[in-house]
Amino acid sequence: MITEPELVGGTAFPAAESPRIEPAPEPPRPSRPRPPWLWALGGAVVASAVWAGGLLAYERPQDGGPDLGGYRTVENLCDKAELKALQVELGKKTPDTDVPTPTRTHPALDRARCTVVLGSDETGFTAEVGYDLHKVTDPGPEFEPRLGEMMADTEPVEGLGERAYVHRDKDDSGAWISVLDGQAQLDIWLTPEMDWDVDTNQAVPAERKTDLSGIEAVLIQDMKALMAALKA
DSSP 174-208: -EEEEEEETTEEEEEEEEE-EEEETTTTEEEE-SS
Average the pLDDT over each of 43-52, 80-89, 140-149, 170-179 and give the range with the smallest value: 43-52
| Predicted local distance difference test score (pLDDT) of residue 171 | 87
Q: Please name each of the domains of the chain with its CATH number.
A: 33-65 (no CATH), 77-231 (3.40.1000)
113-118 average pLDDT score: 94
| Predicted local distance difference test score (pLDDT) of residue 63 | 55
Q: Is 54 helix (H, G, I), strand (E, B) or coil?
A: helix
How far is 76 from 110, CA to CA, in rounded Å?
Answer: 12
| Predicted local distance difference test score (pLDDT) of residue 55 | 35
99-121 average pLDDT score: 89
Residues in contact with 194: Cβ distance below 8 Å, sequence separation at least 6, in sequence order: 203, 204, 205, 206
14-39 average pLDDT score: 43
175-197 average pLDDT score: 91
Residues in contact with 20: Cβ distance below 8 Å, sequence separation at least 6, in sequence order: none
Residues in contact with 133: Cβ distance below 8 Å, sequence separation at least 6, in sequence order: 68, 71, 72, 73, 109, 110, 111, 183, 184
In this prediction, what percent of the chain has a pLDDT beyond 70? Answer: 69
| Predicted local distance difference test score (pLDDT) of residue 65 | 81
Residue 56: pLDDT over 50: no
| Predicted local distance difference test score (pLDDT) of residue 207 | 64
E strand residue ranges, the chain: 6-8, 11-13, 99-104, 109-118, 125-134, 155-156, 163-168, 175-181, 184-192, 194-197, 202-205
Residues in a beta bridge with 192: 125
Residue 32: pLDDT over 70: no
Angle at 126 between CA 104 and CA 204, to 5 degrees: 120
Q: What single-letter amino acid sits at 154?
A: T
